[in-house]
Amino acid sequence: MAADAGEAQLQVRFITKQEQYAVSDSPYAIQSNIQSSELNTLINALLKETNPTLGKVVEFDYLICGELLVSTVAEHLQEKGLSTEETLEIEYLERFPAPSPQDCLMHDDWVSAVHTHGNWILSGSYDNSVHIWNTKGQHKLAIPGHTSPVKAVSWVSFSGDQAVFVSGSHDQSTMLWVWNVSGNSVDCVVTCRGHDKGVECLSVSADANRFATGSWDNNVCFWSTSLSDEDNIPVKKKSKPEQGKTRQPLTTLKGHREAVSAVQWMDHNTVVSSGWDHLLKIWDCELGGIKQEIVGNKAFFDVDWSPLNNSLITASADRHLRLYDPRSTDSIVKTTYTSHTGWVQSVRWSKTRDTMFLSAGYDGQVKLWETRSPKTPLYDLSGHEDKVLCCDWSNPSLLISGSCDNTLRVFKAKHATAGS
């Protein structure tokens, strides 16, 4: 490209899937050294002509050849090796608003696990306790019961005034709890025992009938979430008194050579697990066998699956986040996202937007990503003063992270129009 390409003029067409912001699709001439901020001025001026009642200035992001524009148009085209001679299509979509800090929920020790459902937040801590909060930041309950750090928590189901949740701990047990919401009382109904070492992760199936656990014993176990007597060990087999009944796993899957760091359901019969052995394993739960194995470069610390885009996002010991398409026949790593300066400990897809995910790392950073912007996160959510161990994405606009600074931080984004 010529040295003066930045001064060159480009023919562009503006397109959008958000019809309320559509402008004429006739070509416009722009300077090739234009950036997003100047494109915003232009699009808003065009919108004012076509829709004088709009009244507000709208912030947009711009997609060129499937990637978000973070430089000048000329630099973007140069990097992609594209000509400035042809008419360029620029897609624009309303920018996801910057999340703002809402609450800082204090714990007595490291916050190692978090899961949200509706208005309720469940957290697990290194002081062996589980906590229930509401999304307004009010602490409802501190729940003792485990005898070692709680590393995984998940809501199972909500039915009227009763909520069921599960917690997994380094004490080798997983506990099923029933919370009476109006009475604000909780009971451990079942203690699940089947791992020989600490439980590191867990995930509840979409139908809420089963959950999977992964452990430092390298195994993945499946359990029933039933609160009745099925699958429970008879009393005479108990070596010591337990809270509630004791249950054994429905199935134990062996295959990882080191600790299992994460498990996630992909569908009712498929679970993916990540391990310190650099492997992702996709399991067939009915047959108890491996459907697929993906080899990574480093230990995997977390994996999350999105049913919205059929992709896996992973966190690793090498600072990078990777997007995998397990159905791909060519390169299985689709995109690598690099911005963290330390190990990445936790990743979570948005439940409502197929192109957004959250990451949290040992560098104390929480980052909000757009899959179409691999080099630059949309936003850094600052505030933690130590390693961040867990994160979750609640409804479309609530982002939550837990850290070794003993806090759970809640960020809220004003809801933008859901776009492409």
State the average pLDDT over residues 92-113. Answer: 95
- Assign 242 a pLDDT band (cuts: 50, 70, 90): low
Binned at pLDDT 50, 70 and 90, residue 394 comes out as confident
Q: What pLDDT sits at residue 1?
A: 39
Distance CA 234, CA 221 (A): 20
For residue 418, pLDDT beyond 60: no
**Quick one: pLDDT at residue 234?**
58
Residue 266: pLDDT over 60: yes
Smallest CA-to-CA distance from 353 within 117, 96, 120 is with 96
3-94 to CATH, choices 1.20.1250.20, 3.40.50.1110, 3.10.20.90, 3.40.50.620: 3.10.20.90
Average pLDDT over residues 386-407: 93
- Comparing CA positions, the residue from 133, 104, 136, 141 lying closest to residue 116 is 133
Q: What is the mean pLDDT of residues 288-315?
A: 95
Listed in order, the ranges of the chain carrying CATH 2.130.10.10 are 100-412
**Among the CATH numbers 3.50.50.100, 2.60.40.1120, 2.130.10.10, 1.20.1300.10, which is that of 100-412?**
2.130.10.10
What's the confidence (pLDDT) of residue 8? 84
pLDDT tens string 160-198 = 999 999 999 999 999 999 999 999 999 999 999 999 999
236 pLDDT higher than 60 = no
The beta-carbon contacts of 18-21 under 8 Å, at least 24 apart in sequence, are: 18/93, 18/94, 18/417, 18/419, 18/420, 20/51, 20/417, 21/47, 21/58, 21/60, 21/92, 21/94
- If one compares 24 and 82, the residue with the highest pLDDT of the two is 24
> Six-digit token pair at 86?
């042809």
Give the model's pLDDT for residue 243: 65
Residues 6+ apart with CB under 8 A from 255: 220, 281, 283, 290
The pLDDT confidence band at residue 228, using thresholds 50, 70 and 90, is: confident
Evaluate if residue 5 carries a pLDDT over 50.
no
d(CA 399, CA 340): 18
Tens of pLDDT, residue by residue over 310-350, are 999 999 999 999 999 998 877 789 999 999 999 999 999 99
* pLDDT confidence of residue 240: 52
Residues 6+ apart with CB under 8 A from 30: 9, 10, 12, 39, 42, 73
DSSP string, 285-306: TTTTEEEEEEE-SS-EEEEEEE
pLDDT confidence bin for 2, thresholds 50/70/90: very low
Name the band, by pLDDT with cuts 50, 70 and 90, for residue 420: very low
- The rounded mean pLDDT for the chain is 92
More confident residue, 102 or 232: 102
Q: If you average pLDDT over residues 139-162, what whole number do you get?
A: 97
Where in the chain are all domains bearing CATH 3.10.20.90?
3-94
* Averaged pLDDT for residues 16-40: 93
Instruction: Tell me if the pTM is above 0.85.
Output: yes
- pLDDT confidence of residue 230: 63
User: Above pLDDT 70, what percent of the chain?
Assistant: 94
pLDDT given at position 3? 43
